[in-house]
Each structure stands twice: as C-alpha cells, then as structure tokens.
Amino acid sequence: MIQTGLISNAHGDLVTDAVYDFYGLRLATCSLDQRIKVWRLEESGGTWSVEDDWKAHDAPVSKLSWAHPEFGSIIASGSFDRTVKDMGANPISTMPPLPAYGGSPSSSRWVERASLYDARGTIRAVEFAPHHFGLKLATIATDNILRIYECLEQPTLSSWQLIDEIDIANIAPGPSPTHVTRAQTAALATPTQTHATLDGASATLVAQALRETQQASSVPPSRAGLGNREADGGWTLSWCKDPYWGEIIAAGAGNNGVVKIIQLNSRRSHVLFTLEGSASTGFAASSNPSQAGGNDLTQQGAPASLASYSVTSVAWAPSCGRSYHLIATAGRDGHVRIWKLKPPPEDMGDDDAMHEDGKWTATSVGDFDHHKSAVGRVEWNITGTVLSSAGNDGRIRLWKATANNVWRLAGSIGVEQTAEEPAGQPESKDVDMEN
Amino acid sequence: MTRTERIGASEESVVPAIVESGEFSELVDEGQTISLAQSPLDGSLGIFVVPTHTAEDPTKAHSTRLNEEQPIYFVNQHTPPSAERRMFLADTFAIFSALRKLVTAPEFQSTTSLGEDRRVAYVRKLAIDFVNFIKECWIHASRPVARPGGPLQFSSDHYRSLYTCFSLFVVLFIPEEGYANAPVGDELMEWQNTHFIEPSTEEGDQLSGLEKPWEDDTFWPYLTRAIIRGLNKASTFFLSVLSGHPSEEIQHLTETLISLIQSQPRLDNFSSEKEFALSTRRWKDKVQALRIGLDRVPESKRFDGFENWWERLSDIVGVLEGRGDVLKRVCEEQGGDWKEVCVAWGIFVDPRMRRDDLFETAKDIIAEMPSDPTNLEDNIHAAMFSGQFEETLHSSSQLDLWLSAHLSEFMGATGLLQVKEDADLSPRDFHILEYAEYVYCDHALWHITIEYMYSCGEIGKSRGDQILERVPLRFFQQTSDHATAERIRSGDVVGVLKEVNEACLQHRREGVRRTVCKIAARNFVQEKNYGLAASYCTSAEDWSGLGHIVDHVLEEYVQGSAFFVEHASSIAPLVQKLSTQPNLSGVFYYRLIFVTRFARLQGLLRRKEYADAASDLVAIVREDMAPASWWAVVLYDSIPLLDYEPKLLFSSSEASLLLRKLEDISIKTSQGAGLEYLNVLSRRVHVKEQADLLKELKLVRLALARYFARCAVLDG
C-alpha cells in the first residue's frame, strides 16, 4: 500500500460519505456540515481541487450516489435531518449541474432538481440502479423501508415517482406464499435456524399484511416497538449489477445480522434469499480465513439464531463474467463476510422456476474478524476482485482471492501514528500535499 | 508489487496520522471512525474520518484527534509505475502482442498443420526476444549514470532476477527445435555460468599470479569448482600448473586428468545422442582407470606438507565418476547451493538427464539442500527446476506480477498448464488478470490493461469491459489546441473517444461501444451539440436516448432559444437516414419528424414566408404529427398567419381543420386533461393558470373568427 495523495481538510466537520464518479475523476463528499462538495482530480499533479461546494440540506448529509453518466451528471444525497424528521420526512435531492455551455468543467454548477420526502426516518443509504434499468434510485431509511424511485422526466429530472416501497422487516419471502414454503425453507432452513422457520410459518400472514398495507397505500408501522433507533431500521443496500436476473437489491436492516436479497417486481417484490452470518462469539474469537471456504448454507447447519448485530454495509460485486455473484457484508460484530450467491441453473424453464431446484443458493466463501471491532464499510473495486473494508480498529483492509479462489487478506493501512514515525513528518512518504 | 513492498504489513499508516499510536479506540469512543471509497480510475482508495453509526450525536465535539481538520487520504495497493517502468511495461507489451497474434493464428491452433516442435520453435523466438529485452533493461539499469528523477523504481538487481528467471524458463521449457527430449545438462550449465559466475575471476587472477598456487588455501576449492562448472580452460590451466608440484604422483595423475577433462564428451559435438552416450561410457571407463591409478598412491605420499592433495584430487575424480554424494558434499563445502548440484548432476552424474528426469532429481536435491526461503528468485528457480508450474507462477507473482503474467502466457502457449474444469479462471488467465489489474493502477496505460484482459476468457473480457467503459473521454478537457477542440465539436471523432471506439470494434465489445456512445451523446447534449449527440445515439441504437435529444431540442423552443431552428436542422438529416432503417418503430421517430417539420415552420415564420408557413402548419395538423401537448403551441403559431392581411393563407376547409383541433383541446381540457394539452404552451407563454391559458387559446379562436369573417366577405 502506498499513499498517493491527500486532501488535508475536506469539510468544516466530519465527512460522512465520499463517492467517486463513474470515471474516478470526480469525488463527491458530504459532511455533518450539511454541505456537498465535488472535487476534481488534476491528473497531471494528482491533486484534488474543489469544483463546486454547496449547502445541500438543513441537517447533516448521510450518503451520496452518482448516477450513470449516460444520464448526465447527477448526484443523489440522503440526509439525517432531524428537524425534517420531526416533520415526518427527510429530503433526498438529485442535483445535476446546469448545462455547461463552454464545455469547461468550471462553468458547471450544481442545482437541486428534486426533493423526495417519503422517508420517515434518517436516510441511511442511497444508490442509483445499474443504468440498464433506467434512471432509478433506491433508498433505505431508519423507518425500515426500502424505496425505489424512477425519474419520469429525464431532461429536467424534476419528476420522480415512488414505484416501490418495501418493508424490509416484513417482506414476504418468495414469489408467492405457496412457493415460499418449500424453496426457501429447503434452501435456508437448518434445524436451528429460527428465522427461516418463522419466515415460512408466517409467510401467509405477512403477505396478507402486505396486501392490506398496500391497499391502504400507507407505510406499515414497522418501527413500532423498536427501541434503539440507531441500531434498528434500514442500514444499507446494494444493487445487483448484472441485468440478467432483473432488478435485485441486497438490503440490510435491523440488528439480526441478516441481509435480504430482494427481487424487485412491478407486481410484488419478494425476498429471493436471506444471508445470515453466524452469530459472533466476540471480537476476540479467532476465525481462520483458510477454513472459511465451503460453508454451504444449503448443506451445513446453523447460522446461529441469536445473532444480534447490524449489517452496516453490503456491497454487491460486479459479476464480470462469473457464473455466480459475490456479496460482501460488514457487521458490527466485527466480521467481514463474503458470500457466493449462485442463481438457479440457466436451463430451467419458466415452469421449473417454481421447482425446488430452481432456487438461489449461497455459500460463505470468506468470514474474517481481523478488524476485531465493528466494521462500517465494505466496497468492491470495479472488477469485483478486490474488496476493501473499514473497521473501528482504524485500519482499511483489502481482500483478494488467490489462484485457488481462497479469499485472503491482501493488504492493510491504518490511520494511527506508527511507533517509529514522529507526527507531522510527511516527507518520508510519497505524499502529495494539497494546500 | 515488489518484494520491498510490504503487502499486508501491519505497521503501514497514512501520513499525517490521525491519532497517536494506540489511540484509535478512544476516537471510536468519541463517535468517530474511518470509511473508504474505491476509485474506478485506478483502484486507489480514499480514506476519511466519519461519525460512527453508534454516535448518539454525530455533531458533538471531539478532542482526541491530532488536529481538527477533515483529511481524505488517497492510497493505492500498488505503486504506480514510474516513467522507466512504464516504458518497460509498454515495450514488453509489444512482444506480448506478437505472441498473442501467433498463438491465436488458426495455423498455430490447428493440431495438424504444425508439429509440436515447430510450434514451440515459433514461441521460442518470441521468448528469446523477451530474454534479450530484459537483458537490455538490466544493462541499462546497471549503468552508473546520473538519474535526475531519483533512483530507479526497480533496481538493476530486480531486472537481473527477471533475466535469470526468464532465461531459465526458456532453457527448461521452450527448448530449441528437436531438443525437447535431449539431455539438458549443457544448456543448464551455460545458463548457470552466465548468471551465477563461480569461481570468481578475481580468485583465478590472484592464484595464477602465484608461483606455487597449490600452497594457497583457495587453490583446491577453486580448481574443484572450475571443474564442476565445466570451466575447462581454467581447470586445465591450474591442473597443468601442478606439473610443478613436488609430488611425482600428482604430476602423473593430473596429466591424465587434463586429457580427461578436455575429452569429456559434449552433446553438441555429436550428431546423435547414441554416439554421445557411447562416447560418455568410454570416457567414464577412462575416469575409472584414473581412479584405480589414484587409489594406488600409497598413503604416505598423499600429503604434500600443506594439504592432503590426494583427498582433493579424489573428490575431483569422484565428481567425474558421477558420484552424487561426493558432488553434493563438495558443492556444499564450497558454498554452492542446490542449483549448482542440480546442474552438475546433469553433466557428471547423469549426462543423459532429460528435462523430465531433472524435475525428479531436482526435487530430491532440493529436499536435502533447500532453496533460500527469503530469496524469491531462488524459489522461482527451484520451482522451475522441479517442474512445478503453479509454484513457479506463485513465487514469480511475489517477485513481480509482470513476470508471472508473461511466464503464464508462455506456459499457456506451450500447453504446460493444466486447467481445472471447475475453476473460474485458468492459471494463465488468473496471472494475466492479476498483472492487468496492476497495470490498471496507472490509468494512462488503459489500452495495455484491456489488451491483457481481452486476451483472457469471458471473465477477463468482462473485466476489460469495466475498464474500457470507464476510460475518461475528456470532453471537458481544457486544451490549448483549439483546432482539436473545434474538430471535436464539428463532429470529428478524435482523441480518447476515437481510441475507445476503435478498441471496442477491434475486440468486438458492442455493449461497451453502445454505452460509451450513450455517454458521449449525453455530453454532446450538454454542449447543445444535438446533431452529434443524435448520431452517437443512432450509432448506439439508443432510440430512447434519441427521443430525449428530440425533447431537448423541443425544450430549446419552449425556452425561447434563438437557435431552435439551427438545433433542429442539425438533427434533421437523421429523418432521412432512419427512414431506410428496417424494423424501426417508436414514438421517437414521429417526434423526430415533428421537430424537423416544426422547425421548418418556425424558419418560414421567421423569414416571413407566410404562404409556405401556412401550408406547413396545416400539414402538421392534418397529418397529426404533433404530440398532444404541442397542439396548442402549433395553433398558437397560426395567429400571425390567420391575421396576415395581404392575403388569405388558408382555405376555409383548412381553417375549419384548425378550428376542429382547437375544439378538441377545449373538450379535452374540460374533461380534465388540461395539463397534458396545455403544459407546453404554459411554459412557452409563461402562463400557469389553466383559465389564463384558455384565454390565450381564445386568441386563436378570435383570429379564426376574424379569418372566417374575411373569407365570408371576400367570397361574398
């Protein structure tokens, strides 16, 4: 690992998110200072300079996402505006720049094009859909609702329609209540797995509840009775990048260590699969990464039923020609987990989709507790070959697969002073200081 | 990337650090932690301090930090290549390309047209190009010249390692045509003597200056090693010096020894291996005779006052006899390693040792005399000697991903690698892709990155797509070259966009090409270069994108742009072009026709060519070309034509048609579809209320009424 650059002071308060654009030439950052900044990389010198900077919300900004450039320069931002929350809504703003007449980046200016007020809690994650699906945006908030929006007026970006609202806690597993009983329990349930059993048993009731709430066209009161709002509610989401299987989102909510893989459907979205990490036995517990492979959920037992941690970040890897998907999760139990998700065999006809063999299966291919403390973020590189994770141990770790497809640690870098290096001596490294 | 890079080393830290050593947990207690973002440009990471998810109040004050600034650090897993390294990567890429061209040629792939030997011979030529090139780099890096850019990113010793490894690979696995099954000893000896010179020339010079060199401690080790290394010139010289040795026995024995060493059969000197084998057997008999002579020397005469010369000579004869135990012991005593034993084995112990025999022999020898675990180069050599290809690649990747990638390419080309059926990637693809991702850390080398990726199977190609799609197209690049900027604007595809487009076509990545075209179109729309945007959309067959461009052009009219007609005429040629396109359907095409017709109408109005304008307007209404939201606008434009005093421009039936259309709008509006029918007019005339808009439309009705009155008067 080598340090290649530095922005010495990005914001007036803690940065809450930083996201690269499609090319990696611009970096959008947001902060507790309620501002969004767009930085541009000066390629010759490798330094970053502010291209635009504006106050985006009336509260800290929590998350950002860039749309695919075929839709233009568009950023969505989510906020944890407590004052707005009290009013029962949090804004999400999409902000494309005004057209740049001269073709010069310096002439572009960002303006707010739309605000979406549906969420009833802090927006914890926003992510634009892969471009094949059009200009769509998914959000998840502490109200436990995954919302999908679609832009109806692309040139103006003024009109966004809420096309789906999914209560993560209560969404029915499986495409239909009857189908769920076999495919889901067979794929997931183990003798000790209470979640799956509950899902199966209550599927009909859940479906019924969903129908009722949909008819009432109101958000189900899923947060009722939940105590610690910081720990509960929706945490994270990630779109499946491969259009082949339709619109699929992995979403993490609550504190049961579960990530739900949700197939979006105009008629009724449903859970394709549920990923459950085994309960943490504490940060000190050792986890040998070399033994991590081959933990097939369909065959082996017992992801523990007493998991009580939140999955704070989920990242769906670009599939890049692989016959399976990789999903990484970061948990407050201190684990970075990598799941291999296999779609049903391609030669299954439509009729067979209901067949037991037509199910998705998941295998844990990596479970690492190197951070020994809560992990807050996981992210893949664009080819889905390097996973990076950030933990409360103050270190960033990189994970890669070996030639034999075993995932292992490939590097790490920390932010603590190293013992031998006195503070404020950047000369010893190749650092490009930004003034 | 290099062995000096500390992959995974826990002590690495960003500079300046955020907190003192061991204090991060306190920062977490205060509600702060770190997060990251991965750059699509080069895989680098942005690292920054964020509030923890558990922070009760993320805005509360914090104190543990060394300072209160909010830094973002940028780190990369790989050290981006320096200028000289970049040149090395680019130049070797040229040879790689030549190899790819060769191995993908149908004649090469066909099992019948080329024999195995011939195939290997072609590959060998390019492998030797690689070896020669690395040698040049090594020589270049070794030159003691001033380097204004600081020391080289990769030392001359690094290039030397690459040189020894690559050349050994060629010796062992890409043999000269016809030599695949020939004894390999001589070739290995030549390799060893080229790269690992022992005994040193200085030692030889020093000894040759002595009157009685045998009295020097280094004499016998030097002589023995020269013989083991097959350095006949040096060994016969020092053996002949022994003619001055006081012992008669030694004089006699060395005479025989000299002739034996000079006459040792070498494969190169024989036309067939059979003759070589026969000659070797005879030679061994002579060595046997020497042994008998040696054994006859009485114990009392085996010591010359300085040294037990007999034992030393006996060791030499033992080596010549091919006694493995003696060879190993002697090599070890002289500080030689497993390599020296393996190579000498193929000369003395088993002169007919083939490559396949070597692997087993080397494994046994390395088991007894292990390679240096701290020396990657030595590990690579050991893996090659043992014929362990995957281990060779693994160790090579630790030395330099460049090496593992190119070795794997040659291994693939010569069929050395076994492909596991259930694996995602073949070993060859794995190492090529690892290297490609290293090259990707320098985004200026994107065209090299994708070439390596596109040389792989489906997974590699998909990864190449990700890189190619994200090559910055630099539309906004500030350039002092106005001519280039102008050429781009005038529709000439130049620069990166052209390169990316060509790469897509060359590698048949149609999906990427379309995505890139869509992005380009989007950028041209932003520049209001609608003509170019539309042709990119057409190229990408992005019909909805084309629809959006039409919307943008129409929006120019709504916004009152003075250039609406020009913008519309820039996309007008597409109507003609697309009319020949089979299976073309969709709303966008009709909108495209509408915008061109509507623009023509506006042009006529602007030029006050009212008669033509009137007939165009009627045609638009009659042919129902306008989208519903534009009916009102079209009708609104008829007012000056209806009011045109010098002449009646519409027939009464045409005027009736306009009236009917107006009625339609009124009815639809009264039925609640006002937004749909009046939206565009609303924005055009800057009137928001529906009632006010209807008043605006009454102006049309009034103009029509006046027109009908004029018709009646004139007809009357």
Three-class SS of B394-434:
HHHHHHCHHHHHHHHHHHHHCCCCCCCCCCCCCHHHHHHHH
Contact B33 A18 (CB under 8 A): no
Give the count of alpha carbons within 13 A of B637, CB side only: 28
Selection from B412, B357, B362, B404 nearest residue B382 by Cα:
B362
- pLDDT value at residue B112: 64
* Residues of B with Cβ-Cβ distance to A332 under 8 angstroms: 53-54
Three-class secondary structure of residue B34 per DSSP: strand
- What does the pLDDT look like over A388-425, one tens digit per residue? 999 999 999 999 999 989 999 999 999 999 866 544 44
- pLDDT value at residue A355: 44
Say which of A3, A18, A154 has its CB closest to residue B37: A18
Q: For residues B408 and B431, is the Cβ–Cβ distance under 8 A?
A: yes
- Among residues 57-86 of chain B, which lie with CB inside 8 Å of chain A? 58-59, 66, 69-80
- pLDDT value at residue A186: 33
- pLDDT value at residue A299: 33
- What does the pLDDT look like over B540-597, one tens digit per residue? 888 888 888 998 899 899 988 889 999 999 998 888 888 777 666 677 888 889 999 9
Q: For residues B425 and B457, is the Cβ–Cβ distance under 8 A?
A: yes
Three-class secondary structure of residue B313 per DSSP: helix
- What does the pLDDT look like over A139-191, one tens digit per residue? 999 889 999 999 987 767 888 899 999 999 888 776 543 333 333 333 333 33
B38 touches chain A (CB under 8 A): yes
Contact A403 B393 (CB under 8 A): yes
Encode chain A in three state secondary structure: CEEEEEECCCCCCCEEEEEECCCCCEEEEEECCCEEEEEEEECCCCEEEEEEEEECCCCCEEEEEECCHHHCCCEEEEECCHHHHHCCCCCEEECCECCCCCCCHHHCCECCCEECCCCCCCEEEEEECCHHHCCEEEEEECCCEEEEEEECCCCCCCCEEEEEEEECCCCCECCCHHHHHHHHHHHHCCCCCHHHHHHHHHHHHHHHHHHHHHHCCCCCCCCCCCCCCCCCCEEEEEECCCHHHCCEEEEEECCCCEEEEEECCCCCCEEEEEEECCCCCCCCCCCCHHHCCCEECCCCCCCCCCCCCCEEEEEECCCCCCCCEEEEEEECCCCEEEEEEECCCCCCCCHHHHCHHHCCEEEEEEEECCCCCCEEEEEECCCCCEEEEEECCCEEEEEEECCCCCEEEEEEEECECCCCCCCCCHHHCCCCCCC
B394 touches chain A (CB under 8 A): yes
CA distance A310 to B142: 56
Instruction: Give the A:B interface size as CB pairs under 8 Å.
Output: 310
* Residues of A with Cβ-Cβ distance to B24 under 8 angstroms: 392-394, 414-416
Three-class secondary structure of residue B145 per DSSP: coil
- pLDDT value at residue B708: 92
From the CA of A112, how many Å to the nearest CA of chain B? 17
* Residues of A with Cβ-Cβ distance to B460 under 8 angstroms: 321
Say which of A7, A72, A416 has its CB closest to residue B71: A7
Say which of B51, B77, B430 has its CB closest to residue A32: B51
From the CA of B381, how many Å to the nearest CA of chain A? 20
- pLDDT value at residue A291: 39
Range in A37-41, A224-228, A340-344, B262-266 the model is least confident about? A224-228
- pLDDT value at residue B522: 87
Contact A411 B77 (CB under 8 A): yes
- Among residues 355-374 of chain A, which lie with CB inside 8 Å of chain B? 373-374
> Would you list the DSSP string of B62-76?
---SSSS---EEEEE
Region of B123 (left: φ > 0; alpha: ψ -120 to 50; beta: rest) is alpha
A419 touches chain B (CB under 8 A): yes
From the CA of A351, how many Å to the nearest CA of chain B? 28
* Residues of B with Cβ-Cβ distance to A310 under 8 angstroms: 53
Contact A394 B460 (CB under 8 A): no
pLDDT(A341) > 70: yes
Contact A421 B13 (CB under 8 A): yes
B551 touches chain A (CB under 8 A): yes
From the CA of A111, how many Å to the nearest CA of chain B? 15
* Residues of B with Cβ-Cβ distance to A416 under 8 angstroms: 13, 17-24
B15 touches chain A (CB under 8 A): yes
Selection from B448, B395, B405, B403 nearest residue B430 by Cα:
B405
- pLDDT value at residue B139: 95
**Residue A42: how many other CB atoms lie within 10 Å:** 13
* Residues of A with Cβ-Cβ distance to B545 under 8 angstroms: 70
Q: For residues A60 and B59, is the Cβ–Cβ distance under 8 A?
A: yes
Sequence-distant (6+) residues with CB within 8 A of A311 are: A235, A236, A252, A257, A258, A259, A277, A329, A330, A331, A332
* Residues of A with Cβ-Cβ distance to B393 under 8 angstroms: 403
pLDDT(A74) > 80: yes
Interface probe for B, chosen from A381, A398, A409, A432 (most Cβ of B below 10 Å), is: A381
- Among residues 98-157 of chain A, which lie with CB inside 8 Å of chain B? 99-101, 103-105, 131, 154-155
Say which of A70, A321, A396 has its CB closest to residue B34: A396
Does a cis peptide bond (omega within 30 degrees of 0) precede residue B472? no
Selection from B393, B408, B392, B394 nearest residue B456 by Cα:
B408
CA distance A124 to A314: 12
From the CA of A200, how many Å to the nearest CA of chain B? 32
CA distance B565 to B513: 31
Closest residue of chain A to B23, computed from CA coordinates: A416
- pLDDT value at residue B517: 92
Instruction: Look up residue A8 and give its two tokens.
Output: 């010495």
Query: Buried b vs exposed e over A150-174: b needs ≥16 C-beta within 10 Å?
Result: bbeebeebeebeeebbbbbbbbbbb
Interface probe for A, chosen from B4, B41, B550, B629 (most Cβ of A below 10 Å), is: B41
Q: For residues B184 and B346, is the Cβ–Cβ distance under 8 A?
A: yes
Q: Which amino acid is at B607?
A: R
pLDDT average per 10 residues of sequence, chain B (716 residues): 41 88 91 95 95 64 70 94 92 95 87 74 94 95 86 93 97 91 94 95 93 91 95 93 88 92 92 92 95 91 82 95 96 94 96 94 96 96 96 96 97 88 89 97 95 96 97 67 60 76 94 93 86 88 87 90 91 83 73 92 93 94 90 92 91 92 92 88 88 90 92 76
Contact A18 B460 (CB under 8 A): no
CA distance B32 to A31: 13
CA distance A400 to A381: 11
Q: For residues A330 and A250, is the Cβ–Cβ distance under 8 A?
A: no
Say which of A14, A318, A412 has its CB closest to residue B51: A14
Q: Parallel, antiparallel, or unpaired: how do β-strands A386-391 and A395-401 relate?
A: antiparallel
CA distance B294 to B296: 5
Q: Which amino acid is at B93?
A: F
B21 touches chain A (CB under 8 A): yes
Instruction: Look up residue A188 and give its two tokens.
Output: 């997931």
- Among residues 411-430 of chain B, which lie with CB inside 8 Å of chain A? 423-425, 427, 430
Instruction: Say which DSSP state B306 is in.
Output: S
Selection from A298, A313, A289 nearest residue A125 by Cα:
A313
A396 touches chain B (CB under 8 A): yes
CA A101 to chain centre: 35
B48 sits in which H/E element: strand B45-51
Contact A99 B74 (CB under 8 A): no
Instruction: Look up residue B628 and give its two tokens.
Output: 């519903």
Closest residue of chain B to A153, computed from CA coordinates: B548
B675 touches chain A (CB under 8 A): no
Q: Which amino acid is at A253?
A: A
Say which of A17, A103, A379 has its CB closest to residue B38: A379
* Residues of B with Cβ-Cβ distance to A412 under 8 angstroms: 8-10, 12
From the CA of B333, how many Å to the nearest CA of chain A? 39
- pLDDT value at residue B149: 77
A7 touches chain B (CB under 8 A): yes
Instruction: Say which DSSP state B46 is in.
Output: E
A226 touches chain B (CB under 8 A): no
Say which of B12, B28, B475 has its CB closest to residue A103: B475
Query: Buried b vs exposed e over B686-700: b needs ≥16 C-beta within 10 Å?
Result: ebeeeeebbebbeeb
From the CA of A11, how many Å to the nearest CA of chain B? 6
pLDDT(A216) > 60: no
Sequence-distant (6+) residues with CB within 8 A of B571 are: B530, B531, B534, B549, B550, B553, B592, B595, B596
pLDDT(A292) > 60: no
Closest residue of chain A to B64, computed from CA coordinates: A416
Q: For residues A188 and A175, is the Cβ–Cβ distance under 8 A?
A: no
A286 touches chain B (CB under 8 A): no
Q: For residues A157 and A134, is the Cβ–Cβ distance under 8 A?
A: no
CA distance B581 to B543: 12
Contact B54 A321 (CB under 8 A): no
- Among residues 166-225 of chain A, which lie with CB inside 8 Å of chain B? none
* Residues of A with Cβ-Cβ distance to B556 under 8 angstroms: none
Burial of A317 (0-12, 13-18, 19+ CB in 10 A): buried
CA distance A134 to B233: 78
